[in-house]
Structure 1
């Protein structure tokens, strides 16, 4: 089971909406990923496999984690699925 963290600046609005969509994609595609969400500052303590955030925040986190996915449209499940598929392929 892989561990993913969804973050935004405050850990309330966009990260929660994105987590809901990521959970839906994970469930629909049976990806072995456990998803949680938090604030941007939580990245410093995160030791999991994948960080998911809005695309604008990638420069703030890219050097702090193993793998980062940036999402342009929080409601676009196809974008999320495409990027999760790539993550799963890259981390076999």
Structure 2
């Protein structure tokens, strides 16, 4: 199953909001994925295919290169998130799938 982690500083508000938008877009595209939100210090405990969060948080991640990271400049705009997902190599493979 496809796995997406959404991260923020505390793993509460920001990551939950982004997660809800990701889940809505997945539903719109008819894709199924396991989506979880968490704090930045717990990201490496998950086996993710894609990690999403604000740019300033994502820049601090030191992860294995197999995980694609999407940094967002705007965490509230669903259309911006949609564009960023469509720019993602991992996500485009899922859509082509």
TM-score class normalised by the smaller sequence: 0.7 to 0.9
Deviation string for 1:2-29 (max 9, x for gaps)? Answer: 1000010100111111111111111112
Give me the TM-score of the superposition, normalised by structure 2.
Answer: 0.81
- Secondary structure of the 2:38 match is strand
Contact 1:11 1:40 in 2 (8 A): yes
Contact 2:52 2:58 in 1 (8 A): no
1-structure distance, mates of 2:69, 2:59:
10
Aligned residues: 91
Give me the TM-score of the superposition, normalised by structure 1.
Answer: 0.85
* Runs of 5+ unmatched residues, structure 1: none
Contact 2:58 2:69 in 1 (8 A): yes
2-structure distance, mates of 1:26, 1:83:
13
User: 1:90 deviation in Å?
Assistant: 5.5
Cross-structure match for 2:6: 6
Contact 2:6 2:15 in 1 (8 A): yes
Where in structure 1 do 4 or more consecutive aligned residues deviate above 6 Å?
Answer: none
Change in 2 beyond 3 A, CA 1:55/1:90: farther
Give the aligned CA root-mean-square deviation in angstroms: 1.8
Is the aligned partner of 1:89 residue 2:92?
Answer: yes
Cross-structure match for 2:21: 21
Change in 2 beyond 3 A, CA 1:25/1:9: same
Contact 2:53 2:72 in 1 (8 A): yes
